[in-house]
Amino acid sequence: MANRTVSDAIAVHGTNPQYLIEKIIRTRIYESLYWKESCFGLTAETVIDRAIELTSIGGQYGNQRPTEFLALVLKLLQLQPAKEIIIEFIRQEDYKYLRALGVFYLRLAGTSLEIYQYLEPLLNDYRKMRQRLPSGDFDIICMDEFIDNLLREERVFDTILPRLAKRHVLEENDELPPRISALEDDLEDDLPE
């Protein structure tokens, strides 16, 4: 198994899916204890157990050590599970860190349309998550903040996110309906006053 991508993987964004994590961080993950101890021989199914055990999300921390979250993202990229599995990761509500993992993977490997379709509804999920900062400290980040970062930022958790088509472009092509915020009703209520 080693660190090779599965043989039947489909190229994502014209490259080996694992290359979506930069080389240096990838190497650090391969050398990390968590990767060697807990990520060996995982499948799309057993990855769930590891994701449920997660207690924080983040990129690199301390002495540029990759977090377990990043290691699992790389594992998913290596395994390339079916899209339905990832969508199920995102849909389920019991484990927020599993959802975060699925979301991050989809942002890396999905198409723009999918990303808008599956990520924007999660802007209404305001559950708290522990985020590991580069200094090694922990911080609270809510799911909607995390999603918002993924949709706007170019770089999240020390990973360059693939380019995302602008939302209005997709709207003009009639591929995506305009986004309606959950607060829309409240706003309309507020306006007349």
Partner 1 sequence: MAARGGINAKGEAVPQPVKVQRYWPGRAPKGVKEYLSSEEEDEEEQHFEKQKETELITSTYQIEISEQEAASDRRLRRLREAKNAGHETSSRRRRHADEDTDEASRNIHKSEGIDDEDEDDITSRRQRLREHALEQRRIEEEQLKAQEEAEKARSEEQQTRKLLKPVFIPRAHRETILEKERLEKEAEEAEEKRLQALEERKKESHALVAEQIQKELTKTVDEETGKVEVDDTDGLDEQAEYEAWKLRELKRVYNDAEIFNDDLLFDFKSRENEREEIERRRQMSDEVRFKEDLERARKSREEKSKGKYRFLQKYYHKGAFYLDTDDKLFKRDYTEATPDEAAHKELLPKIMQVKNFGRAGQTKWTHLADQDTSTKDSPWRQKLKRTNNARDDIDRSRKRRTRDRN
Binding residues vs partner 1 (CB under 8 A):
55-56, 62, 123-124, 126-130, 136-140, 142, 144-145, 148, 168, 179, 181-183, 186-187
- What is the nearest approach in angstroms of partner 1 to the Cβ of residue 1? 26
Which residue, 84 or 174, has its beta carbon nearer to partner 1?
A: 174
Which residue, 88 or 144, has its beta carbon nearer to partner 1?
A: 144
- What is the nearest approach in angstroms of partner 1 to the Cβ of residue 153? 11
Distant-in-sequence, close-in-space partners of 171: CB < 8 Å, separation ≥ 6: 177, 178
Which residue, 44 or 133, has its beta carbon nearer to partner 1?
A: 133
- What is the nearest approach in angstroms of partner 1 to the Cβ of residue 183? 5
Distance CA(141)–CA(153), nearest Å, equals 15
Distance CA(148)–CA(123), nearest Å, equals 7
Which residue, 40 or 126, has its beta carbon nearer to partner 1?
A: 126
Q: Where are the beta strands (DSSP E) in 94-149?
A: 128-132, 138-142
- What is the nearest approach in angstroms of partner 1 to the Cβ of residue 86? 23
To which H or E segment does residue 146 belong? Answer: helix 143-152
Integer-rounded Cα radius of gyration of the chain:
17
